[in-house]
């Protein structure tokens, strides 16, 4: 029991050091929170940028498919007219 009391008195003597270490720990914790928040924002912006790029590429692909589709129908129509002309 007396050892516990001596330990507490020794701990009280180091109270200033414990306070400084605690404050330093809290400062480091808040810096970590800020850095994590910044990283999350960065990842969110990157994700939005990539989604926009994907959507624009999908739109270009759709445009190319629609152009090639109209060309195919135009080609088949021209071939059909040629066949009609040769039949006559």
pLDDT one digit per residue (tens) for the chain, 88 residues: 788 888 888 888 888 899 999 999 999 999 999 999 999 999 999 999 999 999 999 999 998 888 877 777 666 665 666 665 665 5
Domain limits, the chain: 2-87
Give the pLDDT confidence score for residue 44 in this predicted structure: 97
DSSP conformational letter for 88:
-
Give the pLDDT confidence score for residue 52 in this predicted structure: 97
* Rounded-to-integer distance, Cα 58 and Cα 48, Å: 15
Give the pLDDT confidence score for residue 13 in this predicted structure: 86
Give the pLDDT confidence score for residue 83 in this predicted structure: 60
* Rounded-to-integer distance, Cα 74 and Cα 66, Å: 12
């Amino acid at each position: 029991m007396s050892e516990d009391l001596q330990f507490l008195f020794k701990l009280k003597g180091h109270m200033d050091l414990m306070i400084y270490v605690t404050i330093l720990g809290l400062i480091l914790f808040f810096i970590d929170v800020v850095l994590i928040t910044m990283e999350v924002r960065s990842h969110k912006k990157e994700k939005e940028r990539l989604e926009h790029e994907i959507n624009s590429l999908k739109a270009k692909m759709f445009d190319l498919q629609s152009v090639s589709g109209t060309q195919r129908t135009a080609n088949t129509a021209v071939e059909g007219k040629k066949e009609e002309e040769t039949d006559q």
